[in-house]
Structure 1
Amino acid sequence: MRTLTSEHIERAWQFMLLNARVIDRHRFALHFRGGAPAPVLAALRPYENPDGGYGNALEPDLRGTASQPVPAQHALEILHEAGADHDPAVTRIADHLTTVTTPDGGVPFVLPTVRDAPRAPWWQTPDDPPAAINPTATLAGLLHRARADHPWLQTATDFCWRRLDRTGAELGPYDALAVLTFLDHVPDRDRAEAAFTRHRGALASVRSDHHTALDFAPRPGGLGARLHPPHTIDAELDALADAQHDDGGWDIDFPVWTPVTRHEWRGLQTVERLLLLRAYGRLDT
């Protein structure tokens, strides 16, 4: 079983100092160097907009200032990491989501304001974008994890259940990630288990050129860990541990459309990969 030592963590820290965004350096320090959560929260604040949403390249491939749904999910993840599930920013996020929710109860993948600034070419949207399971299910799942008490959460939960009550729906990789996040955290566990059983085949068959089984199973207790046999997970953990570059960081395997995003994504990815390895007991520190 391949594990990483304190030497590997130190190499990763040197990589972060040389390459990563301030927010990801503070996240690394919080998780792996005994750092405090306050600097993480302070670094997150500049990405927040007056409307309560998030933009300003918190999602590296969206370079504009305008609030978008996917950066809001990044913010919820970071708030949770910092032990700030009850921070007023969580309520402000839900308030903002209410303003961009479609009549059927979900939020679009991306809003038309994306066109007002540079962004990766895959961030496209029609003039009147429909609600989507991605990112509505992710946002709802993360707000459930935070035990948020907000009317938007019930609206979004109902939207997700309606989508999941359908059978035979095709799921892309990001749809699958969103569904798993929702099912991992929604309070109705019996319904979640039933939905997982109903969609398990579709979730397990999702294919992507830059996702592995581990991306759908970032922690051993989640539903995604049931999608693949243990030997597959173990082999991918070995490969992930071996994928640390000589410079101390992990690389990305999706397109880089402007140079700065590779540095930003690599810093973010390095934190995420180490968190995943730690969740499976692969850090010998």
Structure 2
Amino acid sequence: MKVLTRIGLDRAAAFMRVNGRLIDRHRFALHFGGGPAGPVLAALRAYENPDGGYGHALEPDLRGEGSQPVPAQHALDVLHQCGADDDPAATRIGDYLSSITKHGGGAPFVLPSVRDTPHAPWWQTQDDPPGAINPTGSLAGMLHRAGSRHPWLGPATDFCWRHLEDGADEPGAYDALSILTFLDHVPDRDRAEAAFIRVRDALAAALDPDAEGAHHTPLDFAPTPDGYGRRLFTADTIDAHLDALVDAQDDDGGWNVAFPIWTPITRPEWRGHITVERLRTLRAYGRLKP
């Protein structure tokens, strides 16, 4: 069993100082340097808009200033990492989502306003985009995890249940990730368990790490050992990918990304984000040596 040693963590720290965005340097300090949550929250505020949503490249492939649904997902995750689930920003996110959610409770993947801003070429949408399980499932799951009672959550949760009952036969990888986040945190645990059993094979089929151009590994579906994603894979598969993750640390101390880079700044921004997340996964599985 391979583990990341203190030398490896020190190399990651050096990488973050040279390459990481301020918010990710503060996240690294929070998780691995005994740093406080306050600087992370202060950095997050710079990405927030008056409508309660987030932009300004919090999602590195969306470079525009205006709010989009997926960056709100990043913001909720940062709040949770900081132990700030009850921060008023979570309520403001719910208000923002209420303003852009479609009839039926689903939030669109991306809004048409993306066309007027710099963005990665795969962020495309129609003129009137429908609600989608990605990102609605992740957003609802994260707000449930936060203990939110925002009015947006009721219709959004119903939307996710309907999707699981009617439309989860062939989810893509990102849809599967959103479904897993929803099932991990929705309060009705009996219904979540029944839904997972029903769609388990479809979720597992959404990941083919050996496919040409694949962007995900089993550890993206199972970043910790205690979620539904872990139940999609055998122990041997997880152990093999954890060994590979230790080996994947680059010579500069960071981890790389598997998806296309469309403009140079996004590589270091994504690498700083991913490096913190990879280290969190290694620690969750006991692969980070004290």
In the superposition, the TM-score normalised over structure 2's length comes to 0.97
Query: Is the deviation greater in 204-213 or in 100-109?
Result: 204-213
**C-alpha deviations, 1:153-210, integer Å up to 9, x for none?**
1110010001111266210000000000000000000000000000000001113501
Residue 237, structure 1, aligned to residue 242, structure 2: yes
In structure 2, relative to structure 1, the CA distance for the partners of 1:132 and 1:241 (3 Å cut) is: same
Residue 39, structure 1, aligned to residue 39, structure 2: yes
Tell me which residue corresponds to 1:79: 79
**C-alpha deviations, 1:241-261, integer Å up to 9, x for none?**
110011000011110000000
Report the alpha carbon displacement of residue 94 of structure 1 after superposing the two structures with TM: 0.2
CA contact (8 A) 2:69 2:97 kept: yes
Ranges in structure 1 where 5+ consecutive residues have no aligned partner: none
- Counting aligned pairs with the same residue, the percent is 68
In the superposition, the TM-score normalised over structure 1's length comes to 0.99
In structure 2, relative to structure 1, the CA distance for the partners of 1:64 and 1:132 (3 Å cut) is: same
CA contact (8 A) 1:69 1:109 kept: yes
Code of the aligned partner of 1:106: G
Q: Secondary structure at the match of 1:60?
A: coil
Tell me which residue corresponds to 2:219: 214
Tell me which residue corresponds to 2:289: 284
In structure 2, relative to structure 1, the CA distance for the partners of 1:42 and 1:168 (3 Å cut) is: closer
**For the aligned residues, what is the CA RMSD?**
0.8
CA contact (8 A) 2:20 2:268 kept: yes
Ranges in structure 2 where 5+ consecutive residues have no aligned partner: 209-213
Tell me which residue corresponds to 1:253: 258
Tell me which residue corresponds to 1:172: 172
Code of the aligned partner of 2:175: D
How far apart, in 2, do the equivalents of 1:270 and 1:91 lie? 29
Q: Secondary structure at the match of 1:118?
A: coil
Residue 104, structure 1, aligned to residue 99, structure 2: no
CA contact (8 A) 1:167 1:198 kept: no
CA contact (8 A) 2:207 2:218 kept: no
Code of the aligned partner of 2:15: F
How far apart, in 1, do the equivalents of 2:56 and 2:241 lie? 33
Tell me which residue corresponds to 1:270: 275
Regions of 4+ moved over 6 Å: none
Code of the aligned partner of 1:203: L
In structure 2, relative to structure 1, the CA distance for the partners of 1:56 and 1:197 (3 Å cut) is: same
**C-alpha deviations, 1:72-113, integer Å up to 9, x for none?**
000000000001000000000000000001011110000011
Residue 131, structure 1, aligned to residue 131, structure 2: yes
Query: Is the deviation greater in 10-19 or in 207-216?
Result: 207-216
How far apart, in 2, do the equivalents of 1:98 and 1:239 lie? 41
How far apart, in 1, do the equivalents of 2:149 and 2:196 lie? 25
